[in-house]
Amino acid sequence: MAEASADALVAGLRRAGLRITEPRRAVCAVLAAAPDAHLTAAEIAARVDRPVDTSTVYRTLEALEGAGLVEHTHLGHGPGVYHVTPTPPHHHLVCEACGATFDVPGRDLQRAVREVTEPIGFVADVTHFAIVGRCRDCAAPIPTLPGDHGHEDR
Amino acid sequence: MAEASADALVAGLRRAGLRITEPRRAVCAVLAAAPDAHLTAAEIAARVDRPVDTSTVYRTLEALEGAGLVEHTHLGHGPGVYHVTPTPPHHHLVCEACGATFDVPGRDLQRAVREVTEPIGFVADVTHFAIVGRCRDCAAPIPTLPGDHGHEDR
DNA sequence: CTCTCTGCAAATGCTTTGCAAACTC
DNA sequence: GAGTTTGCAAAGCATTTGCAGAGAG
């Protein structure tokens, strides 16, 4: 088991003066079990052992986020994804074609972003939104198809 | 500046083999009238002179986007925003506190992003998602400086 | 025992879709 | 006239909210 144990998340909730319940424990367990994954609220609800209502999942995630234990991000047009707050800042890349996601260290990006945003006094949170594009497998092939604009989404 | 006139948008639709209708003309006019704004589909529907159904607005925007004349972006948790494709690639900054949006040239950012994404063969579209954070007024304990940059839309 | 949290159901906001009629080419 | 497009209405998702009862402290 990793450092970001379910217990740590539960402890964080307790520290925030919130009550510890079975549904909350279960959500924490799911998050802790996949510290590197990007899970939607629905996925979390599905992975939980005992049935937990979607609204409870959202409320729990909201509580965890408020305590700084969890972050949520938008990886595309779909639902938001949640994950335990990572120690090192990182950025998300999402392939708009196949939906694959990649984590990249935010160090270099953070520096570059700061160069652009600092002049106007903007403090950026690089981790919150993803950069979309196309991964290696989806980018190169199919240069031009006859009569096709190549704009398949979804 | 390349005036993104309504006629240019209409011409683009025609070039794409699509039909020119009053609703489409009207949507093009609204977009052309605010080339630097980020409009939601609902806002476009509201600004149009003759009543145009929301679904038609979406379908028209989809057509314009497919023709490369319009882009849409997610500036936060809310609805997506649309604007005419700008000549120079640029990026969006959104203040999570006051909602102000800023455009920054994407040149430097694009380069930095490429450094990070190229090793894994990822082709990024930097313009699609916004970077959230806090603008000078909402973030800085620093007193106000003269010569503010950035412009508010929305 | 008190007050928070849960589950259910219904509501909300954004976007998409089916279909017959209207319109463009 | 043929094939797109439109408007309308309704369906889909993701997310939020009201409320009575269950459970934590």
Instruction: Tell me the pLDDT tens digit for each residue of A68-115.
Output: 999 898 876 789 999 998 756 667 777 767 767 777 766 666 777 777
Contacts of A19 (CB under 8 A, 6+ apart): A13
The alpha helices in chain A, defined as continuous H runs, are 6-15, 22-33, 41-47, 54-66, 106-117, 136-139
Average pLDDT, chain B: 79
Q: At B115, which amino acid appears?
A: E
CA atoms of A38 and A140, how far apart (whole Å) = 26
Q: Please tell me which of the candidates A115, A122, A128 has its beta carbon nearest to residue B108.
A: A115
Q: At A146, which amino acid appears?
A: P
pLDDT of residue A59: 97
Distance from residue A102 (CA) to nucleotide C6 (C1'), in Å?
35
- Decide which of B78 and B152 is more confident: B78
Q: At A114, which amino acid appears?
A: R
C-beta neighbour count of B16 within 10 angstroms = 14
Contact B131 A121 (CB under 8 A): no
Whether A32 CB is under 7 Å from strand C: no
Q: Please tell me which of the candidates B66, B124, B131 has its beta carbon nearest to residue A149.
A: B66
Mean pLDDT of A55-75: 93
Q: How confident is the model at residue A143 (pLDDT cuts 50, 70, 90)?
A: very low
Whether B42 CB is under 7 Å from strand C: yes
Q: What share of chain A has pLDDT > 70, as a percent? A: 75
Contacts of B137 in chain A (CB under 8 A): 121
Give the pLDDT confidence of B67-114 residue by residue, as tens digits: 999 989 887 678 999 999 875 666 777 776 776 777 776 666 777 777
Distance from residue A78 (CA) to nucleotide D11 (C1'), in Å?
18
pLDDT of residue B32: 94
- Decide which of A29 and B3 is more confident: A29
Most confident of A89-93, A109-113, A135-139, B51-55: B51-55
Mean pLDDT of A32-60: 94
**Per mean pLDDT, which range of A21-35, A138-152, B13-27 is the poorest?**
A138-152
Mean pLDDT of A135-149: 54
- Show the domains of chain A with their CATH numbers: 6-139 (1.10.10.10)
Q: Which H/E stretch holds residue B117? A: helix B107-117
Distance from residue A80 (CA) to nucleotide C3 (C1'), in Å?
31
| Of B89, A19, B21, A89, residue with least CA distance to A10 | A19
Mean pLDDT of B22-40: 94
pLDDT of residue B152: 44
- Decide which of A49 and A150 is more confident: A49
